[in-house]
Amino acid sequence: MTKVVFLGTNTYPRDRESTSILIDNGEEKIVLDCCGGILKQLDRSSCNPAEIGHVFLSHVHGDHILGLPWLLMGSFIMRTQYNVRGVSSISIYGAKEVCDAAFKIAQTCFAKPMDALQKMVRLRLVAIDGENQIRISDNCLLQPIPAKHSTPTFGCKILFEKPSVSIVYSADTRPNEALAAIAQEADLLIHDAYVEDSRKEFALRTYHSTAKEAAEIAESARARTLALVHISEEYHGKENVLLEEARKIFKGRTILPHDLESLTF
């Protein structure tokens, strides 16, 4: 069974955390982007931070990487103060400059814990520089998907081979046909849906997608389920505007998850 937990679903963390997703298939625990409140959200999801072995960072913007120092700090605290054994290696995937920047922040802010953590666990920064699949475990592949954002950005496809489950994450992006091709018949497409389509000019200017555009990509990919994320905080209490707009286009199941909502496959 593969469980997907939406740790965060917004961009600016007011009522919701910024976008961050936990994927847990019982063997691998993978985090896609790190919201600032990641330790609180993992705790509420009954997931120990020391068990996270794979972290994908889509791009350098703060709403996606500022939780990494805390995630690593959590892994350290759990091992040293709570005797949690944890995973033996932590791999951080992303464009080289993104991995370097996020890890530099962690090392700068938490110098001694980071040095100590690296004596307890193998910490690997895995640079992504193209679309080549990365085997992250015996049963799991990560395929980077170049996105269309204001800074170098990758989305990704996470594929568990047995049983076959595919999860595609758009990251922050304008609509991306390459992503639609890779997301063909995905079990779950998690897509940027920053604003409604009447505010498309704002989405264009900030290199994000509207809910309608996310639904068009999901429809062209014939995904099974579409999850709208990276919602602008101005939609607090008006989430249905985005949901209804997407549901007019996409014939599969569309959700706009709240933080900590989960799906199983």
What residue ranges bind Zn ion (CB under 5 A)? 11, 61, 63, 172
Q: How far is the CB of 230 from Zn ion (least distance, A)?
A: 6
Handedness of CA 265, 223, 242, 176 (dihedral sign): positive
Beta carbon nearer to Zn ion, 17 or 28? 17
Q: How far is the CB of 149 from Zn ion (least distance, A)?
A: 5
Tokens 């999801």, residue? 45
Beta carbon nearer to Zn ion, 75 or 232? 232
Beta carbon nearer to Zn ion, 63 or 245? 63
Q: How far is the CB of 172 from Zn ion (least distance, A)?
A: 4
Q: How far is the CB of 155 from Zn ion (least distance, A)?
A: 12
Q: How far is the CB of 96 from Zn ion (least distance, A)?
A: 18
Q: How far is the CB of 86 from Zn ion (least distance, A)?
A: 29
**DSSP characters for the chain?**
--EEEEEE-BSS-SSSPBSEEEEE-SS-EEEES--TTHHHHHHHTT--GGG--EEE---S-HHHHTTHHHHHHHHHHHHHHS-----SEEEEEE-HHHHHHHHHHHHHHTHHHHHHHHHHSEEEEEE--SS--EEEETTEEEEEEE--SSS--EEEEEEETTTTEEEEE--S-S--HHHHHHTTT-SEEEEE--B-GGGHHHHHHHT--BHHHHHHHHHHHT-SEEEEESB-GGGTT-HHHHHHHHHTT--SEEE-PPTT-EEE-
Tally of CA atoms within 13 A in the half-sphere of 59 that contains its CB: 20
Rg over CA atoms, the chain: 17
Beta carbon nearer to Zn ion, 35 or 165? 35
Please tell me the distance from the alpha carbon of residue 191 to that of residue 146, in angstroms, as a whole number. Answer: 14
Beta carbon nearer to Zn ion, 225 or 232? 232
Beta carbon nearer to Zn ion, 63 or 239? 63
Q: How far is the CB of 14 from Zn ion (least distance, A)?
A: 14
Beta carbon nearer to Zn ion, 50 or 147? 147
